[in-house]
Structure 1
């Protein structure tokens, strides 16, 4: 009986020890956070000539490539001019390496690379190609300087995780928070 009790205790200790060493954030949780917290809109120019850029939708894919997070953004672009006004939807996909800032309890992106741009309607792609580098520059700068996820220190569970998180690891479909030992 004593041997059985020790075996059960040892098993529970190993099981609980594994639970306490990491926590994960799903792609869906990150998308919800980004949809709620990130608002990106730029207006430049005047009533006759100008541009307006607005992100409508962001999706996240974690771990499709090792240690990489993919962020796709549906962006509405409007270019005003008296000769040929344009309106298009750009879908851009960036890949980046996420990193954890323990001081702010936030996940940021670095080494952002543009991997894909699609436009709707398709025939407008040539017309907006001159504005595309500027739009991509705005998106890149925005995504590199805004956290893509912040642990909520007002929530007692996340506050504890924020104190214990040492680093992160990208796994397929989730971002794993590694705790201090």
Structure 2
């Protein structure tokens, strides 16, 4: 019995040491966003309207302190009788990721639009006119949807989810922190 009382704390110490280094990589975030987040808007009618769909998302972590950069490739269609157009857009946002311990999810806050590029280039003026409305939809979407959820049906992640209190942004990863 005395031996068991020594082994249990040692086992817990070893287990906590193993999970204390858990982090979420850029590739894991990109994979989650590609699989779970489907952003598509259609606004307007047959004559006037906007359609936007995200095709690809790239994530960069830690290029600035406490910052996650999200670059989204989108296809944009604008319908109007005078100058209808279709363009590819690349938008880059920066945001501060935060961890919600209740839902075991990572969210973004304080989203800032950093850049917009369009192809073809000659319609960049037209894109910039509709960009605020489109960016408003995308910003609201990214701030209200989790960008990553720990899978509590998997035993290791369930344990990590219960222990995690906050996250820290490090170059290339989000480090999960277990203490306050």
Distance 1:15 1:171, change over 3 A: farther
Shift of 1:148: 0.4
Total equivalences in the alignment: 171
> Which residue number corresponds to residue 147 of structure 2?
148
> Which residue number corresponds to residue 30 of structure 1?
29
> Which residue number corresponds to residue 3 of structure 1?
none
Deviation track 1:58-112 (CA, whole Å, cap 9, x = no partner) reads 1100011111100001111100122221111111100011000000000000111
In 1, the alpha carbon distance for the partners of 2:140 and 2:132 equals: 12
In 1, the alpha carbon distance for the partners of 2:153 and 2:17 equals: 25
Shift of 1:17: 5.5
Shift of 1:141: 0.6
> Which residue number corresponds to residue 90 of structure 2?
91
RMSD value, Cα = 1.9
What is the TM-score with the length of structure 1 in the denominator? Answer: 0.88
Which consecutive unaligned segments of at least 5 residues does structure 2 have?
1-9
What is the TM-score with the length of structure 2 in the denominator? Answer: 0.89
> Which residue number corresponds to residue 69 of structure 1?
68
Deviation track 1:144-177 (CA, whole Å, cap 9, x = no partner) reads 0000000011111111110010110010001100
Which consecutive unaligned segments of at least 5 residues does structure 1 have?
1-9
> Which residue number corresponds to residue 6 of structure 1?
none
What are the equivalent positions in structure 2 for 1:105-124 lying under 5 Å apart?
105-124=104-123
> Which residue number corresponds to residue 166 of structure 2?
167
Shift of 1:130: 1.2
8 A contact 2:30–2:58 mirrored in 1? yes
8 A contact 2:58–2:72 mirrored in 1? yes
Question: Does 2:144 align with 1:138?
Answer: no
